[in-house]
Amino acid sequence: MSFQGFPVAALDFYDDLEVDNTKSFWDAHKDVYAEQVKAPMVALTDALAQEFGAAKVFRPYRDVRFAKDKTPYKTHQGAFVGVAPATGWYVEVAAPGVRVGGGIYEASGERLAAIREAMAEDKTGKALQRILRDLERGGFEVAGERLKTVPRGYDKEHPRIDLLRMKTVLGMRSYGFEPFVHTAEPARPGPGGLAPATPADQLAGDRGLLTALSRPGPGTPRGWSPAARCAARR
């Protein structure tokens, strides 16, 4: 099937699941999940695969083995395209609507050291700052796990010390209930830009911003990509 938007029924499904997260509810509504949630997500990721790559559409079941919260089902449907270890793009539909994101969601040891080295270098560090600034100007929230102290081996007066404190780097944007999430627009390319005239323009511009964060493109200094930096250090 071609992507025609996320139906209102998909959001309503998760509204109801948040109230009654039980197997009996799921069994009574599993056809709604399959047809109104999973099928549109698969259609969207298939439509964007040529641009981003093949996506993993996550299973709806929670791993509750070591969790205090034993509710069995996730209250969102996510999909992820990986471009490097713990690095890539994400899309989600849930009761609050649709949101997208990209970046690095986990780093430690040698990988974290390589990323910090890239942040500290003038060429690559300044390039990342520009990318994050463009994301914020484009309506994204820049988030990630941060140290409260100065990373070992770095000067507290470093011009990018706030960046160096970041252990993960994510750009996230919520579209909520915008009318276009219920249409085919999210799967269509557009000319892009930070001042979009149409939903397709906005979405293409947003995709360009996320591409700059998760994978180097034209104009991005060679070697910034977290994946490339980490691979070079192995």
Per-residue pLDDT of the chain (234 residues; tens, 9 = 90+): 899 999 999 999 999 999 999 999 999 999 999 999 999 999 999 999 988 889 999 999 999 999 999 999 999 999 999 988 888 899 999 999 999 999 999 988 888 998 899 899 998 899 889 889 988 988 899 999 999 999 999 999 999 999 999 999 999 999 999 998 999 888 875 443 333 445 566 676 777 777 777 665 444 444 445 544 544 444
Please state, in angstroms and as integers, the Cα–Cα distance from residue 212 to each residue in 133, 208, 215, following that order: 12, 6, 6
Question: For residues 202 and 121, is the Cβ–Cβ distance under 8 A?
Answer: no
Torsion of CA 129, 132, 137, 138, to 10 degrees: 150
pLDDT at 199: 58
pLDDT at 175: 92
The structure tokens listed for 104 are 């690095």
pLDDT at 160: 94
Q: Is 63 exposed, middle or buried (0-12, 13-18, 19+ CB in 10 A)?
A: exposed
Please compute, for residue 51, the number of CA atoms within 13 A of its CA located in the half-sphere on the CB side: 16
The candidate with the shortest Cα–Cα distance to 228, out of 83, 93, 94, is: 83
pLDDT at 73: 98
pLDDT at 215: 62
Per CATH, the number for 8-233 is: 3.30.930
Q: Is 222 exposed, middle or buried (0-12, 13-18, 19+ CB in 10 A)?
A: exposed
Angle between helices 8-19 and 23-32 (to 10 degrees): 180
User: Domain-by-domain residue ranges, the chain?
Assistant: 8-233
Question: For residues 138 and 78, is the Cβ–Cβ distance under 8 A?
Answer: no
pLDDT at 36: 98
Task: Output the pTM of the full model.
Answer: 0.84
